Amino acid sequence: MRLQTLIMAALAVTLTAPVFAQQGSRSAAAFKGDPVAGKLKAEDERCQECHGHDGNANDIEDGIGNIGKFPRLAGQLPAYLLKQIRDFRSGARQNDSMFIMARSLNDRDAADILAYFASQNVVGEKDGEAEHGRRLFTQGDAARGIPACVGCHGEAGQGQQAGDAAYPRLAGQHRRYVAKQLTEWRTGERKNSQGGVMNAITRQLSDKDIDQLAAYVAGL
């Protein structure tokens, strides 16, 4: 029944989910960075001041004492992270702090730094109950044209590399950061996903859906 629901949901929005068998792509391999050099370069560039010493940003507060403004980079797919650096640099994804950071980094140094953060363990914690979020994440809502997130982000939200496409890990990501991204995709403020896929998916999400999805993935 679950598979049928997934297929229905995918058809409803005519999105193609990636082929799970294609693990380890050429594009990821082409930018294999050196995590040892990357740790030192990250310190030079002061990435840790916002993303934490191990890329978990668990102890990095915003100006008013809350965590979750700064995304966890630990455990994330390197190819996804490198795409974000390029997108910040080109303006395809807009953020003032990250524009300043990315514009002074070349791809080689970025690949090393991101290899370091990606190699760190995710140290997250469960962030509230989220039964509604679990259902949306695993099954979507065919009636509203919302596909299951697992079709692209993986059963456990672990992310995957499929061919040239990098579907980021969501498991353990900060709740507040995830909610902000979903909201900005819905409004179109963030629009750097291939073919606008995340803009299409979030169009039907309510504020409650977003809050619940963010709580669910943070606890994975």
Of 98, 97, 80, the residue nearest 88 (C-alpha): 98
Task: Please say whether the beta carbons of 213 and 141 come within 8 A.
Answer: no
Q: How far is the CB of 128 from ligand HEC (least distance, A)?
A: 16
- Tell whether residue 12 is a contact of ligand HEC (CB under 6 A): no
- Tell whether residue 47 is a contact of ligand HEC (CB under 6 A): yes
d(CA 137, CA 103): 35
DSSP, collapsed to helix, strand or coil, labels residue 153 as helix
- Tell whether residue 45 is a contact of ligand HEC (CB under 6 A): yes
Q: Residue 26 or residue 163: which is nearer to ligand HEC going by CB? A: 163
Task: Please say whether the beta carbons of 85 and 105 come within 8 A.
Answer: yes
d(CA 158, CA 168): 8
Instruction: Give the dihedral of Cα atoms 148, 151, 152, 154; nearest 10 deg.
Output: 100
- Tell whether residue 84 is a contact of ligand HEC (CB under 6 A): yes
Q: How far is the CB of 1 from ligand HEC (least distance, A)?
A: 19
The 134-173 contact track toward ligand HEC, x by CB under 6 A, reads: --x---------xx-x-xxx-----------x-xx-x--x
63 CA to centre of own chain:
23
- # chain residues binding ligand HEC, by CB under 6 A: 45
Q: Residue 26 or residue 77: which is nearer to ligand HEC going by CB? A: 77
Of 186, 160, 182, 161, the residue nearest 171 (C-alpha): 160
- Tell whether residue 70 is a contact of ligand HEC (CB under 6 A): yes
Of 6, 139, 154, 16, the residue nearest 80 (C-alpha): 154
Candidates 24-32, 40-48, 121-129; binding stretch for ligand HEC (CB under 6 A): 40-48
- Tell whether residue 60 is a contact of ligand HEC (CB under 6 A): no
Q: Where are the beta strands (DSSP E) in the chain?
A: 160-162, 165-167
Q: Which residues sit at the interface with ligand HEC, rule CB under 6 A? A: 15, 17, 45-47, 49-51, 69-71, 73, 81, 83-85, 95, 97-98, 101, 105, 113, 136, 146-147, 149, 151-153, 165, 167-168, 170, 173, 178, 180-182, 192-194, 197-198, 201, 213
